[in-house]
Amino acid sequence: MTFPLFLQLLTNGLVVGALLAIVALGVALIFGVVRVVNFAHGEFVTLGAFATYLVVTQLNISPLLGIPLAFVLGAAVGAGIQAAIVSRAAGRPELDVLMVTYALSIIGLGIFSSAFSGDFRSYSEGPSGIFTLGSVVIGLRSLTVLLVCLIVGVGTILVVQRTRIGLALRALAQSRDSAAACGINVPAAELFAFALAVGLAAAAGALVSLIGTIHPRVGHDLVLDAFVVVVLGGMGSIGGAVLAAIAIGIVNAFTSFALDDSWARILTYCLLYATLLLRPHGLLGRHVGA
């Protein structure tokens, strides 16, 4: 393998990993704060993808404006679902809550399939052309995705680490009872966390629509890798999720080139299996003793 090819594959892997990191951030946030494994997260990605597709093709709005619009739409939908459905399942057995989010996933998939059929859709609007840096060539769309993911990811981490609401979220992730005893409004914090996570998923969907084709299962397929990333990074660990997402993106890029996409997916789940055996709490997750 030549050095220019190595750089090209590394760049491609960073783009995929950055997009996967945004999705995984939402999964980690919901699990860490709300203590829910959200199987419907992929459908929120699909929501953002189709929302952006519609505003671009029907309203002639730039897909770059579709990204914040998708985030706001996703956050609003997420807040509504958390308040109306997820919060009402809180306190019930974990399997009950899991089945609630799974049911939401099936409902969402059915709605998107009925509304848009199974057709693959795309649009040509938005950044076009290529950017060349030495021997590395990257499309402007992919570069846009990389830059937006960087901004969104850093912004999310700053919110969690440097703001009062972020302090409340971190306290809630440590202990729900202790957070409540300190005066934190637990329902409001959980509502904010869920809305933010779903907004991130919808924004990721908008970015997916920018660089590829979309269909009713586009988010469902992506979120499977996001769950792998969250487990590898450590359940509830935002830093671990970002690190694992970048690593998986790079590994997939090199494996897909050397072998094919099927082997890339096989290797991803082999890494998951090895992590569960050797380091069950993930790369940056907290070890919980017996």
- The pLDDT of 139-153, averaged and rounded, is 91
Of 159, 193, 215, the last residue of a domain is 215
The answer to whether residue 289 scores a pLDDT higher than 50 is no
Question: What is the domain count for the chain?
Answer: 2
Of 195, 215, 235, the last residue of a domain is 215
Q: Is position 7 within any domain?
A: no
The reported pLDDT for the residue numbered 46 is: 95
Same domain flag for 205 and 258: no
Q: How confident is the model at residue 196 (pLDDT cuts 50, 70, 90)?
A: very high
Q: Distance from first CA to last CA of the chain, Å, rounded?
A: 47
Same domain flag for 220 and 209: no
The answer to whether residue 282 scores a pLDDT higher than 80 is no
Same domain flag for 166 and 263: no
* Least confident piece of the model among 4-13, 85-94, 127-136: 127-136
Instruction: Report which of 51, 80, 26 is spatially closest to residue 229, judged by C-alpha positions.
Output: 26
Q: Is position 4 within any domain?
A: no
Same domain flag for 188 and 138: yes
- The pLDDT of 88-114, averaged and rounded, is 87
The reported pLDDT for the residue numbered 172 is: 87
- Per-residue pLDDT reduced to its tens digit, 38-71: 889 999 999 999 999 999 999 888 999 999 999 9
The reported pLDDT for the residue numbered 288 is: 42
Q: How confident is the model at residue 8 (pLDDT cuts 50, 70, 90)?
A: confident
Of 183, 215, 247, the last residue of a domain is 215
Cβ neighbours for 143, distance < 8 A, ≥ 6 positions apart: 127, 131
User: What pTM, to 2 d.p., does this model score?
Assistant: 0.89
The answer to whether residue 11 scores a pLDDT higher than 50 is yes
Q: Is position 63 within any domain?
A: yes
A 10 A CB-CB count for 239 gives 15
Q: Which residues pair with 25 in a beta bridge?
A: none
Tokens at residue 3, please?
Answer: 């050095």
Same domain flag for 66 and 106: yes
CA dist 264 and 256 (Å) reads 6
The reported pLDDT for the residue numbered 285 is: 60
Same domain flag for 224 and 147: no
Range of the domain at 257: 216-289
Tokens at residue 240, please?
Answer: 């671990």
The reported pLDDT for the residue numbered 148 is: 94
Decide: 26 and 198 in contact? Cβ < 8 Å: yes
Burial 196-209 (b: 16+ CB within 10 A, else e): bbbbbbbbbbbbbb
> Does an H or E element contain 137, and which?
strand 136-139
CA dist 168 and 183 (Å) reads 10
Rounded (5°) CA angle 265-276-243: 65
The answer to whether residue 284 scores a pLDDT higher than 80 is no
Q: Is position 253 within any domain?
A: yes
- Per-residue pLDDT reduced to its tens digit, 231-280: 888 776 777 888 888 988 888 888 888 887 888 888 888 888 888 888 77
A 10 A CB-CB count for 221 gives 12
